[in-house]
Structure formats: C-alpha cells, structure tokens
Structure 1
C-alpha cells in the first residue's frame, strides 16, 4: 500500500501514504484502521459465539494431518502463499518493539515468546541465505 502505484481506498484517505516509513504505516494502521492489521487471536473467535475453533494451525510447522484426516482429504493441501523472495527486510528496532507490543495478546494466547531484536534479525538473515 505504500508504493507509488497503489491507488486503493487508503491512498485517497492518506494522500501521503507513499512517503510513510514502515513504523509510520503500522502506527497509523494500529491506531486508525484497527481492521487492517488486527492481532491474530481475533481470527480464532466469532463475534456471535463462544465456541472455540476446531483447529489452530501454526504456520511454522503447518501440520495439517489431523485436519486432513477429519475431513477425509487424501491429497496434500496445496501451498498457495509460498513466497520465493529471499530478501531480508530490514526492520528497525523501534518497529520491532511496536509489533511485539501490538501482538502481545497473541504471544500470550498462542504460547509464543518474542525473541530479542538482534536474534530476530539474525534468524531473518539465515532464512534468506537458506
């Protein structure tokens, strides 16, 4: 959305959108457009129900075996959003801290722990080199 070519609805609302750095983008979206980058736990609930989800699938391991068995799916599920790009995105430490703060409930509910900023950046470099 911050590229010059973007002409969607947010561009008319924020004419200076292409000039935003990542931290400005996320701060604006966190505070003004709460449905654009919501915490992930919101996808595990329905506003009109207290029923827990039947499945929670972690992207890190994508273990779909129980889901496939329960739904009688024989073929492996396709990976639709595979990204071949191996570029390391340089995330400034203040943005990293803001993201951790924004998703703090997700960390608590899903049993994740944020890693220190330097460890995170090292892991990104390793992933890009692989």
Structure 2
C-alpha cells in the first residue's frame, strides 16, 4: 500500500482481517498507477457527455433538470421542442454514447459483484466499514 497520512488506519484494519500489509513510499507506487482507465474516469466522462447534452439542449432552447433521469426520456422525438433536424441528429448521437456508457458501467458493476461473492478475500474487504457500498 502507498504510505500516506491516513494509510496506517487502513493497514491496521487489513491486518486485523488477516492480510499482510507492506507500506511503500509514493515514489515506488507511481510507476504502477494507471491514469488512463478507472471507474472515476468513466463516471466523469459520462457526466461530461451528460453535461454536453444539457448544454446543447439549452443552446437550442430546451432546459432539462441536472439529473441522469432527465437525459433518459426521448426528448428528440417531441416536435414541441425547437430543435433542428441536424441538432436532433447530434443530440441523438450524444445520447446514444451516454446510454452505452451507462450500460457498460452497470455491466461492470454486476461483474464485480458476482466475482466478489465467490472470492474470500473480497468478502473480507467488504467487511471494512466505509469500503463496501
């Protein structure tokens, strides 16, 4: 584990659960950090796509709430909204990307949940307060 100010608390929790903990200085951890792919980046990218959809809709005169649920309904087929054909195509493309990312995140969450059910070490980690959600 990377040594930092609060890691000793976590290390003690892991030791209580039977894990062997080794603390490493941050400069030794840096080469192993993968900055191009993780759940937080996926969520941030999806939020950015959602914001782009909201911004484009606002530019076209349609204001929707700042929630994921507001993106899911099919606004594009509603002739009441003053959106051009080209604008509808662009929004439909962005909405498809957003829905695809949502589906990927749900699928990966499900895969992780299924894996952790059958893995003893994952079960031990899930017992740590604040770690499992």
Q: Relative to total residues, which structure has the larger helix share, 1 or 2?
A: 2
Q: How would you bin the TM-score normalised by the shorter chain?
A: under 0.3
Give me the TM-score of the superposition, normalised by structure 2. Answer: 0.23
- Which structure has the greater CA radius of gyration? 2
